[in-house]
Chains A and B, each alone.
Chain A
């Protein structure tokens, strides 16, 4: 009987120790990430990075996204709602992470649209039409042209910019930063430099809410 209790006690103790260690490790990592973010944001945000929301906002969300990624499309309304619900308090940055075959062209389109100051409406149009141009995760970039007509882009200039080496450099920079930050899938979020403790919709909401209450 004593021996049985000893084994049961050990199992419970070891599991609790594991959970506690995981919790401590993650909060330590989050603090370290937040400190590093305060010191130097350059890996998270570049000068070419499209941003939305007040520049004075104290909660900064950095999203690494792929326009062909269905989950990124599903997260988009949540981010929109966060910006609307907390005006002036949240700033959203979008980083190009073309992980799907073929989405690099679409990402170039977005980066070129940003040069015309039309990144956000173009992203909106591309996400809205995503099921049509990227069925079953197989992006067909040439189809995207059919859906961005309403944005009001100078399409001739867009095509020219898309093939420029500057745009290519921007994409490569974003991909290099993604690797540096350990982004292996999209969408990946950093809130004031903190990664999600575990990936998910609710986790993002909680992290943003925590940062909001800490800053305001």
Chain B
């Protein structure tokens, strides 16, 4: 869709898609909390802290395209991925009760949304962070060529 010189070997498109994923994730999380009134737990907030800045940082790296974008975006997506995986393990029960960082307020192990029997909010979050991280790294490699 773009001329080769402006797409940086396809890297622009990859970062653009990762930005789309971040946007959809942000809007979905806002839909859960503000429209469906599902209260976000502490771990959800930590994941939001990693996801929401990406919505603003990624397009800044797109205009003009900045190869070094991965340096300031990937730490957020990687940390978000770690928290989401921790959250998943907590929900699955692999991490015992005592390590739970959120016994007060909304318990993180509570499952509010479950589609097809296995799709939960932390799973969607982990997938988003994983995709964003992979796309950013791929984009970085492509733009070097």
Contact = CB atoms under 8 A, between A and B. Distances in A.
Interface of A: 2-4, 6-7, 10-11, 14, 17-18, 21-22, 25-26, 182
Contact of B1 (A2, A11, A22): A2
Contacts of A25: 31, 35-36
Given A2-B2, A14-B23, A7 B31 contact: no
A20 to B, nearest CB: 11
Given A10-B23, A14-B23, A14-B27, A4 B36 contact: no
A182 B6 contact: no
Given A2-B2, A14-B24, A18-B27, A7 B16 contact: yes
Nearest to A15: B27
Nearest to A7: B59
Contact of A3 (B24, B27, B62): B62
B62 A7 contact: yes
Interface string B14-29: 0010011001100100
Interface of B: 1-2, 6, 12, 16, 19-20, 23-24, 27, 30-31, 35-37, 59, 62-63
7 contacts: A3-B6, A3-B12, A7-B59, A17-B27, A18-B31, A22-B31, A25-B35
Contacts of B27: 14, 17-18
Nearest to B7: A3
Given A3-B2, A3-B16, A6-B16, 14 more contacts: A2-B1, A3-B63, A4-B63, A7-B19, A7-B63, A14-B23, A14-B24, A14-B27, A18-B31, A21-B31, A21-B35, A25-B31, A25-B35, A182-B37
A26 B35 contact: yes
Contacts of A22: 31, 35
B104 to A, nearest CB: 17
Contacts of B23: 10-11, 14
Residue in B1, B35, B59 whose Cβ sees the most chain A Cβ within 10 Å: B35
A2 B23 CA distance: 20
Nearest to B23: A14
Contacts of A2: 1-2
Contacts of A11: 23
A197 to B, nearest CB: 10
A54 B68 CA distance: 71
Contacts of B37: 182
A6 B12 CA distance: 12
A14 to B, nearest CB: 5
Residue in A4, A7, A11, A21 whose Cβ sees the most chain B Cβ within 10 Å: A7
B10 to A, nearest CB: 13
A91 B36 CA distance: 29
Contacts of B16: 3, 6-7
B22 to A, nearest CB: 11
